[in-house]
């Protein structure tokens, strides 16, 4: 911690006392310089920013998203942390160009069926006494959390029971606040499941996957926290980052991602875990109210690259209340060029934790400008 000369410390204390007495108007909030991330062509974990007064691990005012009484990670988790004021990544233009500046957003969720299955990634909530069943991991057993998992025999599968796609299965234990996720999941005759990979998350914890491990997602991230849910849109606000896919990523990942899924080393391709936000200048007023909720979330919380797939596809939960035509036509007019990559490195507390720093410069307004952090 910085040690101030006695006279300056006395001046600061006197200034604070005057402010409390109502005799002074606080100056504008000071800004803090944060380091910018550098491009990496190999999976190198970022290092946390130096701790300084005014940039401390401190939960934001909002409580964070909740599902069936369980937090969807703590309020100060990186998924639930606004990024609207963070610096633009120095390779932002290159990343946007690599994904597609003229390609529009697309909702990878909706109502009804597509190819015989629901549109989006479904989930199921179970109680703590849901029977545990064995999971046979056929591909990434050494990077999967071992079973048993509380997966019902009739758990909804992404794409439907006959799908040959990613076949994600998401289960939330509401009594223990644990999230179970499977990739390429197939129910078996004895009520067990076979899957490509799987991961278990304590929703009260900031813990990330072990470094280099996949999850049910290519980036080694949880899936559920990044999904658009109808209930959130109907409530008028989404308080977390969203999950999205791009067709080409780099052989690298950045915090909070833990895994890559590419052989390409082109530095203009984004790494897994890269966060993008809708530019503040983008006018959302002409859009229908449900779409405005999504766009405002993309401005405040942004979206994280979680998997290889179609470019600018945003993930969500299937729901019969979605208006597919409205979602598709409206989001298609929001192009890649309307986004910018964000440098989130200053938020990192620990590379093995999803805990995020919150800028608290308002607590230091009373310091003279040359002493402010």
Q: Is residue 54 part of a domain?
A: no
pLDDT (tens digit per residue) in 2-53: 333 443 333 343 344 333 333 333 333 332 222 333 333 333 444 444 333 3
> What pTM did the predictor assign?
0.82
Residue 114, SS3 per DSSP: strand
Give residue 76's domain range.
60-371
pLDDT (tens digit per residue) in 52-86: 333 334 344 457 899 999 999 999 999 999 999 99
Q: Is residue 42 part of a domain?
A: no
Rounded Cα gap, residues 16 and 367, in angstroms: 8
What is the tally of structural domains in the chain? 1
pLDDT (tens digit per residue) in 212-251: 999 999 999 999 999 999 999 999 999 999 999 999 999 9
Q: Is residue 20 part of a domain?
A: no
**Range list of β-strands (E), the chain:** 55-56, 66-67, 70-71, 106-108, 113-114, 117-118, 124-126, 135-137, 169-173, 178-183, 186-187, 193-195, 197-202, 242-246, 275-278, 303-308, 313-315, 339-342, 358-359
Q: Which of 6-10, 27-31, 97-101, 160-164 has the lowest mean pLDDT?
A: 27-31
pLDDT (tens digit per residue) in 320-369: 999 999 999 999 999 999 999 999 999 999 999 999 997 544 333 333 33
Q: Is residue 349 part of a domain?
A: yes
Q: Is residue 101 part of a domain?
A: yes
Q: Is residue 205 part of a domain?
A: yes
Q: Is residue 259 part of a domain?
A: yes
* Helices within 187-288 (DSSP H only): 230-235
Q: Is residue 134 part of a domain?
A: yes
């Amino acid at each position: 911690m910085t040690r101030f000369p006695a006279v300056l410390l006395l001046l600061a204390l006197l200034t604070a006392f005057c402010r409390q007495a109502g005799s002074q108007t606080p100056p504008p909030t000071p800004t803090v310089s944060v380091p910018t991330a550098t491009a990496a062509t190999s999976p190198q974990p970022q290092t946390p920013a130096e701790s300084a007064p005014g940039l401390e691990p401190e939960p934001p005012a909002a409580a964070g998203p909740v599902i069936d009484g369980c937090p969807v990670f703590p309020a100060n988790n990186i998924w639930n942390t606004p990024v609207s004021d963070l610096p633009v990544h120095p390779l932002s233009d290159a990343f946007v160009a690599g994904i597609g500046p003229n390609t529009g957003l697309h909702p990878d969720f909706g109502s009804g069926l597509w190819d015989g299955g629901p549109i989006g990634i479904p989930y199921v909530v179970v109680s703590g006494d849901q029977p545990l069943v064995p999971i046979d991991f056929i591909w990434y057993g050494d990077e999967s959390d071992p079973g048993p998992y509380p997966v019902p025999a009739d758990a909804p599968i992404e794409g439907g029971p006959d799908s040959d796609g990613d076949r994600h299965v998401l289960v939330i234990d509401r009594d223990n606040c644990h999230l179970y996720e499977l990739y390429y999941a197939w129910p078996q005759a004895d009520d067990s499941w076979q899957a490509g990979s799987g991961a278990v998350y304590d929703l009260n914890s900031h813990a990330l996957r072990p470094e280099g491990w996949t999850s049910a997602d290519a980036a080694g991230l949880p899936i559920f926290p990044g999904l658009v849910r109808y209930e959130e849109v109907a409530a008028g606000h989404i308080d977390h980052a969203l999950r999205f896919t791009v067709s080409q990523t780099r052989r690298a990942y950045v915090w909070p991602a833990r895994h890559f899924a590419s052989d390409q080393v082109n530095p203009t391709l984004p790494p897994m875990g890269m966060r993008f936000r809708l530019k503040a200048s983008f006018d959302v007023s002409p859009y229908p109210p449900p779409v405005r909720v999504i766009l405002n979330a993309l401005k405040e919380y942004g979206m994280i690259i979680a998997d290889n797939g179609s470019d600018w596809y945003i993930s969500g939960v299937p729901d019969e209340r979605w208006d597919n035509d409205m979602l598709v036509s409206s989001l298609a007019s929001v192009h890649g060029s309307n986004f910018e990559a964000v440098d989130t490195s200053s938020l990192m507390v620990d590379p093995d934790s999803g805990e995020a720093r919150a800028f608290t410069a308002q607590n230091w307004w009373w310091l003279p400008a040359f002493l402010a952090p």
